[in-house]
A and B are shown apart, each in its own frame.
Chain A
Amino acid sequence: MRLVESRLTLTVSYALLALFAFIALFPIALLVLNSLKPAAQIVQNPLALPETIRWENFTNAWNHARFSTTFLNSFIITGTTIVLVCTTSSLTAYVIARRKIKSWKILTFYLLATTTAPIQLYIFPLYFGFAKLGLINNIFGVALIYTALYSPFAVMLLRTYFIAVPKELEEAAIVDGATHWQVFWRVMLPIVSPGILTVALIIGLNSWNEFLIAITFLQKQENVTAVIAFFLLSGQYSSDWGEIMAAALIIVIPVVALFVFMQKRFIEGMAGGSVKG
């Protein structure tokens, strides 16, 4: 009786998982399929298998979207954002989580409030401000905006990781002779590293895919990001869908690769075993 029941649950859960997997993978499969077809065939039937495989889609996409430069721009922006967000947010989150400053409540409230404000609200004032500072068309300027934009979220997420670390660990380190900086760097940071990894992944993904700010603040051909270059493909070359599919695939690949690669470390828990259990 139990066996039958558990088999039923098993079947249902597998069926559901299969459905979700299908929903997640179908667009990517479509992307792969159509990136290998000439445009005419895609328009005819996007679901059909390619009659002839057209590798040129990829080379065309790479050249027309100038991925050799735009990818580099995207990497620099994403990397800079990740580094800036992770360093500043982990320090801030630690201070807030441990209530080491009097105004931690106000700061927490402020950060929570800012996560709800939409960027559209202040993108124009920001633009003029940046223009005054000569930061338009500067990819590091864009990384700075991303940092400001994503920091509140990162701080709030990391805060929960820091709160979960028992206070005694810090005290043990202090008794062991650690300075405040050593407590943070050698004890706290390694313990919350799964949280930092999570933040890095989410922030990285967001900055890689970001569109509105990138297209507003980066107007010169040589400093647009990969996503903008991809967007420009569709108008410029009267929408060769095969090429666009190939470009999309190229943009998605680093993201997918990163997630597949990081998955194991991502899930791995670090906090187990420090205290009783």
Chain B
Amino acid sequence: MANVAIEKVRKSYGAVDVLHEVSVDIADGEFVVLVGPSGCGKSTLLRMIAGLEDISGGTISIAGRVVNDLPPKQRDISMVFQNYALYPHMTVGENMAFSMTLAGAPAGEKQKRVAEAAQILGLTPLLDRYPRQLSGGQRQRVAMGRSIVRNPQVFLFDEPLSNLDAKLRGAMRAEIKSLHRRLATTIVYVTHDQVEAMTMADRIVVMNGGHIEQIGRPLDLYDNPQSTFVAGFIGSPSMNLLNGRFDTLGARDIFRLDDGTALPMPAGTSKQGSTKGVYGIRPDYLKLSTGEVGFPAKIVVVEPLGSETQITATVGDQTVVILSHDRVSVEPDETIFLAPQVERVCLFDEAGRRISRSDA
């Protein structure tokens, strides 16, 4: 077990910079998820930790040892690939034992460790099969088994669930999480699926275009996104981000949308005057008001989902999504009034950075 320290790590392919001075500190036994849109450099960072990619600048240390120039086998890590990368000519058992075979481990020891790992993952009846005789989920488990057998200091996962169907993905998510609880080994897990990130991570690293946008615990990111990017990326349906400017109405500070609609501001927000900004409110925190309280919006679509109803509406030319946990009887083209829960509002400046509240 070990911590992983990533300090000002850069990666460039020729003249193209893919990662710009990325720093993350991963504690011993922590489950960290790297999440971000396609092409943001998640896999590249993971592969640099694994030693499959050169480090252009900065340092990566595992268990206090700088590993920049160490080959993968000396880093004491294991990796699960998106396409599993099982050796097709070896049985499940041989696949799992391969690292020990290479290291020249005695047969008894090998068998014991493979049996243990197979037991944990429910692979015992499949040990003599070949990868082509397994289902997708089973292959996924074998790939994990291969990692477990090595008993590494750090597990690295690169989108291990993206080839599975939704149901299996849910099951494997739970399985990986319970595996982590059981082994308590440091895990770095890459995904572009924010649901996976939210459900599995101790801490999430949100990446965008080779930068780290924010690092934090799942609910911290959900409640306190530090940028419009994180606000839009974490949570589904994503946060409503409305463009407008900071204004006053009489003695009150308000946020005025481009079409003139006035939205209430949380107390103690320092930004004032007529500067532009972004008003962020999650769909759950926009309430349909019974009277004419709040601001008017015109309904476009109503989607009843059973436990909740998702309503899409327009305010001026901007779209807002409302998630109502009560049954509501509204129709498209109807005008409704929306009251935001003011203490849940997140304000961002023109560049998309969070404006902190002065009283907080």
In the complex, are the beta carbons of A270 and B88 less than 8 A apart? Answer: yes
Distance, CA A190 to CA B103, complexed state (A): 20
Distance, CA A176 to CA B81, complexed state (A): 13
State whether the Cβ of A177 lies closer than 8 Å to any Cβ in chain B.
yes
In the complex, are the beta carbons of B98 and A176 less than 8 A apart? Answer: yes
State whether the Cβ of B249 lies closer than 8 Å to any Cβ in chain A.
no
Please name all residues of chain A whose beta carbon is closer than 8 Å to the beta carbon of B51 when the two chains form the complex: 175
Distance, CA A166 to CA B77, complexed state (A): 21
In the complex, are the beta carbons of A176 and B86 less than 8 A apart? Answer: no
State whether the Cβ of B330 lies closer than 8 Å to any Cβ in chain A.
no
State whether the Cβ of B272 lies closer than 8 Å to any Cβ in chain A.
no
B339 CB → nearest A CB, Å: 48
State whether the Cβ of B84 lies closer than 8 Å to any Cβ in chain A.
yes
In the complex, are the beta carbons of B52 and A273 less than 8 A apart? Answer: no
State whether the Cβ of A172 lies closer than 8 Å to any Cβ in chain B.
yes
How extensive is the interface on chain A, given as a class? Answer: 20 to 34
Q: A273-B134, A274-B131 are in contact. Are A172 and B89 (CB under 8 A)?
A: no
In the complex, are the beta carbons of A190 and B98 less than 8 A apart? Answer: no
How many residues of B are counted as interface, with CB atoms below 8 angstroms from the partner's CB atoms?
A: 32
Nearest CB in chain B to that of A193: its residue: B89
Please name all residues of chain A whose beta carbon is closer than 8 Å to the beta carbon of B65 when the two chains form the complex: none
State whether the Cβ of A144 lies closer than 8 Å to any Cβ in chain B.
no
State whether the Cβ of B200 lies closer than 8 Å to any Cβ in chain A.
no
Nearest CB in chain B to that of A189: its residue: B89
Most buried by A among B51, B98, B131: B98
Nearest CB in chain A to that of B97: its residue: A176
Q: A174-B52, A176-B146 are in contact. Are A275 and B89 (CB under 8 A)?
A: no
In the complex, are the beta carbons of A273 and B83 less than 8 A apart? Answer: no
In the complex, are the beta carbons of A177 and B99 less than 8 A apart? Answer: yes
Please name all residues of chain B whose beta carbon is closer than 8 Å to the beta carbon of A275 when the two chains form the complex: 83-86
Please name all residues of chain B whose beta carbon is closer than 8 Å to the beta carbon of A190 when the two chains form the complex: 89
In the complex, are the beta carbons of B79 and A273 less than 8 A apart? Answer: no
1/0 contact string of A241-277 vs chain B (CB within 8 Å): 0000000000000000000000000000011111111
B123 CB → nearest A CB, Å: 15
1/0 contact string of B40-57 vs chain A (CB within 8 Å): 000000000011100000
In the complex, are the beta carbons of B99 and A273 less than 8 A apart? Answer: no
Most buried by B among A178, A182, A191, A274: A274
Distance, CA A194 to CA B79, complexed state (A): 28
Residue in contact with B78 in the complex, picked from A166, A175, A270, A273, CB distance below 8 Å: A175
Residue in contact with B86 in the complex, picked from A178, A182, A273, CB distance below 8 Å: A273
Please name all residues of chain A whose beta carbon is closer than 8 Å to the beta carbon of B130 when the two chains form the complex: 273
State whether the Cβ of A173 lies closer than 8 Å to any Cβ in chain B.
yes
Distance, CA A273 to CA B130, complexed state (A): 8
In the complex, are the beta carbons of A169 and B87 less than 8 A apart? Answer: yes
In the complex, are the beta carbons of B132 and A272 less than 8 A apart? Answer: yes
State whether the Cβ of A171 lies closer than 8 Å to any Cβ in chain B.
yes
Most buried by B among A166, A177, A182, A272: A177
Distance, CA A271 to CA B82, complexed state (A): 17
Residue in contact with B88 in the complex, picked from A171, A186, A271, CB distance below 8 Å: A271
In the complex, are the beta carbons of B73 and A174 less than 8 A apart? Answer: yes
Most buried by A among B85, B130, B131, B146: B85
Residue in contact with B85 in the complex, picked from A171, A178, A271, A277, CB distance below 8 Å: A171
In the complex, are the beta carbons of A171 and B52 less than 8 A apart? Answer: yes
Please name all residues of chain A whose beta carbon is closer than 8 Å to the beta carbon of B84 when the two chains form the complex: 274-276
Nearest CB in chain B to that of A269: its residue: B132
Please name all residues of chain B whose beta carbon is closer than 8 Å to the beta carbon of A277 when the two chains form the complex: 132, 136
State whether the Cβ of A187 lies closer than 8 Å to any Cβ in chain B.
yes
Q: A168-B81, A172-B81, A273-B131 are in contact. Are A177 and B88 (CB under 8 A)?
A: no
Please name all residues of chain A whose beta carbon is closer than 8 Å to the beta carbon of B77 when the two chains form the complex: 175
119-155 of chain B: CB within 8 A of chain A: 130-134, 136, 139, 146, 150
Please name all residues of chain B whose beta carbon is closer than 8 Å to the beta carbon of A169 when the two chains form the complex: 85, 87
State whether the Cβ of B12 lies closer than 8 Å to any Cβ in chain A.
no
Distance, CA A270 to CA B99, complexed state (A): 21
State whether the Cβ of B16 lies closer than 8 Å to any Cβ in chain A.
no
In the complex, are the beta carbons of A177 and B102 less than 8 A apart? Answer: yes
Nearest CB in chain B to that of A271: its residue: B88
Please name all residues of chain A whose beta carbon is closer than 8 Å to the beta carbon of B150 when the two chains form the complex: 176
Distance, CA A276 to CA B135, complexed state (A): 9
Please name all residues of chain A whose beta carbon is closer than 8 Å to the beta carbon of B73 when the two chains form the complex: 174-178
In the complex, are the beta carbons of B88 and A191 less than 8 A apart? Answer: yes
Interface contacts beyond A168-B81, A177-B102, A178-B102: sample of 16 additional A-B pairs, CB < 8 Å, sorted by A: A168-B85, A171-B79, A171-B85, A174-B71, A176-B73, A176-B98, A182-B102, A186-B102, A191-B87, A191-B89, A270-B88, A270-B89, A271-B88, A272-B88, A273-B132, A274-B86
B: which residues have CB within 8 A of A?
50-52, 71-73, 77-79, 81-89, 98-99, 102-103, 130-134, 136, 139, 146, 150, 163
Can you pick out 7 interface pairs between chain A and chain B where the beta carbons lie within 8 Å of each other?
Answer: A171-B52, A173-B98, A174-B52, A175-B51, A191-B88, A270-B89, A277-B132
